[in-house]
């Protein structure tokens, strides 16, 4: 899926273009557009199950009496919340949010209301009344509240507009969980753990997004500081090397300073805790229950030596550091998931020099001769084969880069048929493996930045987000042109009979 960076996403960003498929999911048997808001009974059952994890009925797998452990659900006073910007009380979230003038916010609001009513087929009178209502609220309060239907529609369109995501074909099937009433970190952690359980519940990984309170005025809502809900720790060893994921060195250091105790001995695949930032600026940590994290052991179907490296990876990516922007309202905590594209793990996470850097060890383990000119290509191909094989054997959803490319072509045709301009960033859409063999390599693309959308910071991917009236006009004109083409071809066929 998604948006799309660190491992997945609509618009993932670690500073390097990469191909991603998140949150794209195979949702066979799920009606398009279904699931505006998660079924309350199902969610409550999963939350209750999550609360049963850990000592004292809390969310932590460490004793609830430990003063350094994040708060448990039964003992909200337990935990240590520290200001990390004590001297200045500077708000890290505020430094990431887009700065919109009242006019820009009103423009995005009106455009979203018009889009919602146009695509859902609601009467013009209802659109005008709703537009007047939200603009009035903006003038008086500086913000307005989305209805449940608007929230679900906005989240799906944000995925549809994510130019860096290759897996948007399934955007209508995104299941939206409305968590806007959740403000306490304990309940927030419980809801996030419930989302992880829901994603693993069926035979196929379902694309899900949980949306927590938006920014209102000068107040900052709680949000997750994890780049992903599930991620691996990184430690500096005495020799100056890194054990684990170098990308998470600083996050690991902060988690340990807050009382998180890594397993002994420290390993390359230690799961980090959930870290939540409270409205007051503090941090709370919640170790993930052991049975919550599903991991896949990496094995090769014919090169048994790869198993000696002891590689594994978590089954589902949950991107949690992107801000969801809908109609001028920003939701800083809106974690979403899809399923992996094999190249994300095999061609990037495991072999990038700034990540696990396993290209040479993997070659030696699989018996690939490193004196050959194309040994790196061989290793990448075999690692991709191993990832796909291991996930398939474990019954976990995954796609290969060729299938994802075909999905993107289908998405482009579908959007063009609906008279919508397609946003796509070539450097992120094209897979890192066998690029020229994938049809998207030869596809002209336009990196539009329409809203609704996801972004990480106003200084990077959020800088260009805006209402693009030109794309709406372009889409309508393209639709008219294609209708004329179809009529012309039909007339020609009839004349030839």
- Annotate 440-479 with DSSP letters as a single string: GGG-------BSSEEES-TTTTTTT-B--HHHHHHHHHHH
Residue 107 inside a domain? The answer is yes
3-state secondary structure of 437: helix
| This prediction's pTM | 0.81
Residue 461 inside a domain? The answer is yes
Say what the pLDDT of residue 357 is.
Answer: 98
Nearest to 405 by CA among 167, 200, 231: 167
User: Which three-class secondary structure string do you get for 365-386?
Assistant: HCCCCCCCCCHHHHHHHHHHHH
Nearest to 159 by CA among 457, 483, 452: 452
Say what the pLDDT of residue 12 is.
Answer: 40
Say what the pLDDT of residue 21 is.
Answer: 37
Helices and strands (H and E) in the chain: how many = 13, 16
Nearest to 151 by CA among 191, 112, 107, 189: 112
Residue 297 φ then ψ, to 5°: -75, 130
Give CA separation, 188 vs 40, 153, 245, 311, in Å: 16, 23, 26, 31
Distance CA 120, CA 265 (A): 55
Domain limits for position 168: 40-76+96-224+315-342+399-433+447-492
For 68-107, the pLDDT digits (tens) are 333 333 333 333 444 445 555 678 999 999 999 999 999 9
Give CA separation, 143 vs 46, 60, 214, 289, in Å: 32, 36, 10, 37
Say what the pLDDT of residue 479 is.
Answer: 63
pLDDT below 70 — which residues of the chain?
A: 1-89, 470-479, 482
Residue 89 inside a domain? The answer is no
Classify residue 308 by its DSSP letter: G
Distance CA 134, CA 136 (A): 5
Pairing, β 175-178 against β 318-319: unpaired
Helices (H), 179-314: 185-201, 249-257
Query: Which residue in this structure is represented by tokens 């100056």?
Result: 240
Residue 399 φ then ψ, to 5°: -130, 155
Query: Which residue in this structure is represented by tokens 């009529």?
Result: 487
Classify residue 347 by its DSSP letter: I
Partners of 381 in the β-ladder: none
The answer to whether 228 and 318 have CB atoms below 8 angstroms apart is yes
Query: Which residue in this structure is represented by tokens 């618009």?
Result: 11
Residue 293 φ then ψ, to 5°: -95, 115
3-state secondary structure of 285: strand
446: alpha, beta or left? (left if phi > 0; alpha if psi -120 to 50): beta
Cis peptide before 86 (omega within 30 of 0): no
Residue 239 inside a domain? The answer is no
Angle between helices 40-51 and 185-201 (to 10 degrees): 110
Spatial neighbors of 103 by CB under 8 A, at least 6 apart, are none
Residue 79 φ then ψ, to 5°: 130, 165
Residue 298 inside a domain? The answer is no
Q: What is the CATH number of the domain that holds 148?
A: 3.90.340.10
Distance CA 69, CA 63 (A): 8
Q: What is Dmax (Cα atoms) for the chain?
A: 84
Say what the pLDDT of residue 87 is.
Answer: 57
Give CA separation, 38 vs 41, 316, 488, in Å: 9, 19, 46
Task: Give the length of the chain.
Answer: 497
Spatial neighbors of 370 by CB under 8 A, at least 6 apart, are 360, 363, 364
Residue 244 φ then ψ, to 5°: 95, -150
Distance CA 353, CA 375 (A): 16
The answer to whether 63 and 259 have CB atoms below 8 angstroms apart is no
Residue 173 inside a domain? The answer is yes
Is the alpha carbon torsion for 174, 175, 179, 185 positive or negative?
Answer: negative
Residue 322 inside a domain? The answer is yes
CA atoms within a 13 Å half-sphere pointing along the CA-CB vector of 38: 26
- Report the domain count for the chain: 1
Say what the pLDDT of residue 13 is.
Answer: 37
Residue 356 inside a domain? The answer is no
């Amino acid at each position: 899926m998604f948006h799309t960076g660190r491992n997945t996403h609509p618009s993932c960003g670690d500073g390097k273009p990469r191909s991603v498929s998140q949150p794209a999911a195979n949702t066979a048997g799920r009606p398009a557009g279904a699931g505006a808001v998660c079924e309350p009974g199902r969610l409550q059952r999963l939350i209750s199950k999550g609360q049963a994890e850990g000592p004292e009925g809390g969310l932590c797998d460490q004793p609830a009496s430990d003063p350094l452990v994040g708060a448990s659900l039964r003992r909200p006073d337990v935990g240590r919340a520290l200001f990390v910007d004590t001297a200045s009380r500077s708000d890290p979230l505020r430094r990431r949010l887009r700065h919109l003038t009242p006019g820009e916010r009103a423009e995005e609001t009106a455009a979203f209301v018009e889009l919602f009513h146009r695509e859902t087929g609601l009467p013009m009178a209802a659109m005008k009344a709703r537009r007047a209502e939200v603009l009035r609220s903006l003038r008086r309060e500086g913000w307005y509240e989305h209805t449940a239907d608007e929230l679900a529609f906005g989240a799906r369109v944000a995925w549809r507009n994510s130019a860096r995501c290759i897996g948007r074909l399934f955007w209508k099937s995104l299941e939206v969980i409305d968590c806007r009433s959740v403000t306490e970190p304990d309940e927030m952690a419980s809801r996030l753990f419930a989302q992880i359980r829901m994603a693993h519940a069926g035979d196929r990984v379902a694309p899900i997004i949980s949306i927590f309170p938006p920014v209102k005025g000068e107040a900052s809502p709680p949000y997750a500081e994890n780049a992903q809900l599930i991620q691996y720790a990184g430690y500096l060893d005495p020799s100056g090397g890194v054990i684990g994921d170098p990308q998470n060195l600083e996050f690991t250091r902060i988690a340990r300073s807050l009382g998180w105790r890594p397993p002994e001995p420290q390993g390359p695949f230690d799961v980090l805790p959930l870290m939540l930032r409270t409205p007051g600026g503090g941090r709370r940590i919640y170790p993930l229950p052991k049975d919550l994290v599903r991991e896949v052991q990496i094995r090769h179907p014919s090169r048994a030596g790869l198993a000696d490296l002891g590689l594994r990876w978590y089954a589902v990516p949950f991107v949690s550091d992107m801000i969801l922007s809908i109609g001028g309202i920003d939701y800083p905590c809106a974690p979403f998931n899809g399923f992996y594209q094999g190249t994300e793990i095999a061609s990037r996470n495991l072999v990038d020099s700034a990540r696990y850097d396993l290209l040479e060890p993997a070659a030696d383990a699989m018996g690939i001769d490193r004196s050959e000119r194309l040994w790196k290509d061989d290793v990448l191909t075999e690692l991709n084969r191993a990832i796909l094989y291991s996930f398939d054997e474990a019954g976990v959803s995954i796609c290969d880069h060729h299938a994802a490319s075909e999905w993107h072509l289908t998405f482009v045709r579908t959007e063009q048929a609906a008279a919508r301009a397609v946003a796509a960033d070539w450097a992120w859409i094209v897979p890192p493996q066998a690029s020229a063999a994938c049809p998207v390599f030869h596809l002209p693309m336009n990196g539009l930045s329409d809203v609704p959308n996801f972004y990480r910071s106003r200084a990077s991917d959020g800088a260009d987000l805006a209402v693009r009236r030109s794309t709406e006009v372009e889409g309508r004109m393209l639709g008219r042109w294609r209708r004329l083409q179809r009529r012309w071809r039909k007339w020609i066929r009839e004349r030839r009979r």
